[in-house]
Amino acid sequence: MRKPLDPDMFDPVCPSELVPIRVGDKWAGLIIQCLEGGPRRFSELRIPLRTVTPKVLTASLRSLERDGFVLRTALPGPVRHVEYRLTPLGRSLLPLLATARAWAETHLDELLTAREAADRAR
């Protein structure tokens, strides 16, 4: 039995769009982080990614699969069972995403100030 994903693994106060490097789309980095510990079912991914609609999560997973970062495996059985796992290429992104996340955390206040100033200027 694998350990469940923490529903609060992503701080809702820290918007994901502040990460300066994106792979695929807005949610791809978060999905890759969810898969770091091993394969996950769609329903498991929905727990920490609860703000992502199922349609958008599906599209992001398909994009990650297409780019070779994620492998989708349909497992045999009476009930449809699909798991997603990182490929070696996808796993190679983990250090890059950790560095980008650390940079964003260090510069969070500056990023928020810049965005607020830009929004006021519009």
Indicate the pTM of the whole model: 0.77
The CATH number given to whatever domain includes residue 21 is: 1.10.10.10
Q: CB of 43 within 8 A of CB of 84?
A: no
**Residue 27 Cα distances to 46, 52, 53, 86, angstroms:** 12, 8, 11, 15
pLDDT tens by residue, 51-65: 999 999 999 999 999
pLDDT tens by residue, 31-48: 999 999 999 999 999 999
Residue 42 in domain? yes
The whole domain housing 41 covers 16-121
Q: Where are the beta strands (DSSP E) in the chain?
A: 40-41, 70-75, 81-86
Read off the amino acid at residue 6: D
What is the tally of structural domains in the chain?
Answer: 1
Could you tell me the two tokens for 3?
A: 């350990």
